[in-house]
Amino acid sequence: MSDFDVDLFVIGAGSGGVRAARIAAAHGASVMVAEEFRIGGTCVIRGCVPKKLYVYASRFADDFADAAGFGWTLPARPAFDWRKLVDAKEKEITRLSGLYRQNLERNKVEIVESRAEVIGPNRVRLLNDGREITAKYILVATGGAPALEPSIPGLEHAVSSNEVFDLTAFPQRLLVVGGGYIAVEFASVFARLGCKVTQAMRADNVLRGFDGDMRAGVRDALRHAGVDFRFGVLPTKIEKTAEGLKAALSDGADIVVDQVLVATGRRPHTRGLGLENAGVEMDAVGAVKVDGYSRTNAPSVYAVGDVTNRVNLTPVAIREGHAFADTVFGGRDIRVDHANVASAVFTTPELGTVGLGEEDARAQYDVVDIYSAGFRPMKATLSGSAERVAMKIVVDGKTDKVLGVHILGHEAGEMAQLLGIAVKMGATKADFDATMAVHPTAAEELVTMRTRSARHER
């Protein structure tokens, strides 16, 4: 009989925690999961899933406008109902949360709907009833939480990316604070749903860390959609008035809006978790420090997902959780490779990317070749829209190895997923060139870009 109540106690029933719990249980471990909010975590409840549903909703405006060029006549001007979208979203995430629960229960994982606090290397306390549970291993999978910055007077009047999905009324005027992927995605969604969007940020451009040409493309597309950018500017005060929320900006201007969305990033959700009681080390922003096996400095405590602040993406958390369970309970030796992880920014047009951008490649490699293409997609020829597609392939000029691929255009995320396989396998530009095109598609440009557009040597 075990000396512990359970073999594994998981704190957080998001994507990473649920996968780890389910796989560990399949290996024969006794598992308990604690979740203080809703099963499914950030991605399912207040992240990727509802966001993508809202992105789809926002794109219908373009579809209606494009239809006329293809012979369709709409009987009247389409009208958008915010409450119908919110209700439909809620129905879907409730369904998905239920599936997560069913999968855990099917694998005989005990679910506790409570906040859990670590009180020792092998002990946690459930805050709903004070019970203390001993566990051979503790897995921290609490994800991240919005970082509401800067701390200014009236910040309580703003909302974060957690609350924006469930606003009681659609804002006709919205101030988005921040320039990262969450900020630009919501700016894109609300602008296309008919909102007047102003976006303020400390930086001089959106999407710091992405390829420079793609950053410029996203910025220009958002401007075309009506987003009013205020670069190098942040709010200094938010005041509730009869006309709406009055935001004082650092450049001296004032703006009155119906809602302020602060999307200035996310922080690891470790505050009040009690990790210090197990001696777990964290970094300056509160991220749990782990090794390649997601193991902390405390031998019985592991952590996966955004709480470790490695690569903060849902599929990465799932892979880390699976690898942890297979290694600790399945007798395997699995480390997660965090290199060349494909990702997407779901603005409209969307950005799909894998590998190094041009600027990062030039900083790391002696010779960098750039292949690029910009064109009007076939659909735009009849619709008359101003839609454009931009593609870039970044290549090591010495070895011909593809270092990165970046796409701004329709379904770029879908293309990035498949490109991720090629880049992960170490494909060369010659491999791309030897691949037959699929015509007529936008993706065929990726295998027909034969003329180098630039070479950079250090």
Q: Residues with catalytic annotation?
A: 439
The token duo for 204 is: 């001089």
Give whole-number Cα distances, 419 to 404, 413, 416, 446, in Å.
Answer: 9, 10, 5, 10
CA distances from 316 to 8, 147, 196 (A): 21, 21, 35
Give the integer Cα–Cα distance in Å for 119 and 132: 9
Separation in Å, CA 152 to CA 149, 222, 244, 254: 8, 27, 18, 15
Q: How far apart are CA 313 and CA 353, in angstroms?
A: 13
Q: Counting beta carbons within 10 angstroms of the beta carbon of residue 393, is it exposed (0 to 12), middle (13 to 18) or buried (19 or more)?
A: buried
What is the residue whose two structure tokens read 């955004």? 306
**Closest Cα partner for 357 from 403, 410, 416?**
403
Greatest C-alpha distance within the chain: 73
- Residue 161 has a CB neighbour count (10 Å cut-off) of 22
Residue 58 token pair? 């926002």
Q: Of 289, 284, 286, 285, which is closest to residue 304 (Cα–Cα)?
A: 289
Element (H, E) at 102: helix 82-106
Measured CA to CA, the distance from residue 58 to residue 121 in angstroms comes to 47
**Beta partners for 229?**
199
169-197 per-residue burial string, b: 16 or more CB within 10 A, e: under 16: ebbebbbbbbbbbbbbbbbbbbbbbebbb
Residues 210, 318: Cα–Cα separation, whole Å: 24
- The span from the CA of 140 to the CA of 333, in Å, is 20
